[in-house]
Amino acid sequence: MKHTVTERFLRYVTIDTQADPESNSSPSTEKQKNLSNLLLKELKDIGVKAETDDYGYVYGYIPSNVDHPTDSIFFCSHVDTAPDCSGKDVKPILHKAYQGQDIVLPDDPEQVIKLKDYPYLRDKVGEDIITASGLTLLGADDKSGVAVIMDMAQQLANNPEIKHGDIIILFTTDEEVGQGVAHVNYDKIKCDYGFTLDGGPRGEYCEETFSADAAVIEIKGVAAHPGYAKGKMESAIKIAAKIIDTLPKEYLAPEATDGSGGFIHPGKIVAELEAARIDFILREFDTSRLSHLAEHLRTISDKVLQQFPHSSYTLTIKEQYRNMKDIVSAMPRIKKIAYMAMEQAEIQPHQSMIRGGTDGSVLSANGLPCPNLFTGMQAIHSKHEYISVQDMEKAVQTVLNICQIVAAPSLIES
Ligand SMILES: [Zn+2]
């Protein structure tokens, strides 16, 4: 099999598609459409029926080539890159047959990808590694997923002997600013289930994400002339500060938790003497525990406000997304197919939990179970981002195997 994934990846990363969290438009940056339009053209060139829309989403349709019914599936990745680090003028560098050395990035020699910081590199000795040049991120998140899906489409077109059911391709914009599937037209992706290609190390399979709520505390204090405030003033600034200071520090804090631990995280505070507002995010894997976090916040606030008898506060909770595990694991064949596909590609599958959300969380909640698969991306959202060519090729083989297993229902039942 002659892969196109690397050649595609090296081209796609040079197109700046950085998303902008401050923007009110969709997509948040027009330039994301530059890649969407290229993908649309390339899909059509391959012979895939495809379309794009005002949001820069790309939909592609590959009809079944077998005459029995099969599951219909989709593959999804996002064209945008993170706001955390520049994605302009990305210069990808291919380090052939990596030998285990620290990698100094030439455009800023202070940027060194060190083996001791990134132990996964140890597994990559002998493989070909792609990095950026030191001034930008690489954009493997998620142009590796895009390139993997495009190579899959190419391979299916070149090799009609590969049997598959109906396949839909979805490329989204603005995933990095939490709007990845906000404008999906669900009529266009009517499938049984699908996969995002937006994961890390080879073999990674993820059907567990955080469940997430947003919490807002709005405080009303009592203003007074500071020169004559004795016994009158109740500063909303000080109330807000006290609430933050009373939050748990050794647990339920992002800087103190990993693995399956959840947290309460104050992300923003706007405060004046008379009024203050604190924006929190609440995160837990176990959805039922989210309400405990909200209660915790309420208990803390009540206690603080007791010291300010003429002030008041409100706490508002808003649902953000839910752990997709309940939805995905209700259809056990999805994981079975993914694991079989990886084993056929001589990959050891392993399950991991995402301490965040994915487009798949939202798609799953909307009736499209959608776990996440590896592409190989590492050190994402940073200048140290890197990816192995061989990991991307394994991801292509995995998705092609998924297509073939889905087309052979007897394989899944056995
Ligand atoms: Zn991503």
Please tell me the pTM assigned to this model: 0.87
Question: Which residues, other chains included, contact 299 with Cβ-Cβ below 8 Å and sequence gap of 6+?
Answer: none
Find residue 208's DSSP bridge partners. Answer: 353
Q: What is the pLDDT of residue 412?
A: 81
Q: What is the pLDDT of residue 358?
A: 84
What H or E segment, with its residue span, contains residue 93?
strand 93-95
Ligand 1 centroid from CA 198, angstroms: 5
Question: Which protein residues have their CB within 5 A of the ion that is ligand 1?
Answer: 141-142, 198
Ligand 1 centroid from CA 263, angstroms: 22
Whole-angstrom Cα distance, residue 149 to residue 33?
18
Give the least confident one: 114-118, 205-209, 319-323, 396-400: 319-323
pLDDT tens digit string along 155-197? 999 999 999 999 999 999 999 998 899 999 999 999 999 999 9
| Residue 96: how many other CB atoms lie within 10 Å | 9
Exposure letters 216-238 (e unless 16+ CB within 10 A, then b): ebbbbbbbbeeeeeeeebbbbbb
Judge whether 175 counts as a catalytic residue: yes
Catalytic one among 128, 175, 176, 204? 175
Whole-angstrom Cα distance, residue 265 to residue 153?
41
User: What's 275's DSSP letter?
Assistant: E
Domain 5-209+324-413: CATH architecture, name and number where available: 3-Layer(aba) Sandwich (3.40)
Give the least confident one: 31-40, 260-269, 405-414: 405-414
Angle formed at CA 110 by CA 105 and CA 111, multiple of 5 degrees? 45
Q: Residue 410 pLDDT more than 90? A: no
Ligand 1 centroid from CA 78, angstroms: 7
| Mean pLDDT of the region 123-132 | 98
pLDDT above 90: percentage of residues in the chain: 94
Whole-angstrom Cα distance, residue 50 to residue 164?
18
CA-closest candidate to residue 198, choices 183, 180, 184: 180
pLDDT tens digit string along 68-113? 999 999 999 999 999 989 999 999 999 999 999 999 999 999 999 9
Catalytic one among 16, 42, 80, 198? 80
CA-closest candidate to residue 147, choices 164, 130, 135: 130
Q: What is the pLDDT of residue 413?
A: 76
pLDDT bracket for residue 326 (50, 70, 90): confident
Mean pLDDT of the chain: 96
Structure tokens given for 55: 């949001």
Whole-angstrom Cα distance, residue 247 to residue 371?
33
Ligand 1 centroid from CA 385, angstroms: 12
Query: For residue 388, what are the CA distances in angstroms to 81, 94, 249, 374?
Result: 18, 9, 38, 12
Q: What is the pLDDT of residue 414?
A: 64
Find residue 103's DSSP bridge partners. Answer: 113
Ligand 1 centroid from CA 79, angstroms: 9
Q: Residue 409 pLDDT more than 90? A: no
CA-closest candidate to residue 95, choices 144, 130, 139, 132: 130
Judge whether 80 counts as a catalytic residue: yes
Question: Which residues, other chains included, contact 273 with Cβ-Cβ below 8 Å and sequence gap of 6+?
Answer: 221, 223, 233, 235, 236, 237
Domain ranges, ordered by start, for the chain: 5-209+324-413, 211-320
Domain 211-320: CATH architecture, name and number where available: 2-Layer Sandwich (3.30)
Ligand 1 centroid from CA 174, angstroms: 10
Question: Which residues, other chains included, contact 171 with Cβ-Cβ below 8 Å and sequence gap of 6+?
Answer: 36, 39, 57, 58, 76, 77, 78, 79, 146, 149
Strands in 174-240 per DSSP E: 193-199, 204-209, 211-220
Ligand 1 centroid from CA 106, angstroms: 26
The answer to whether the 5-209+324-413 and 211-320 domains have the same CATH topology is no
Query: For residue 83, what are the CA distances in angstroms to 21, 96, 192, 253, 339?
Result: 7, 29, 33, 24, 33
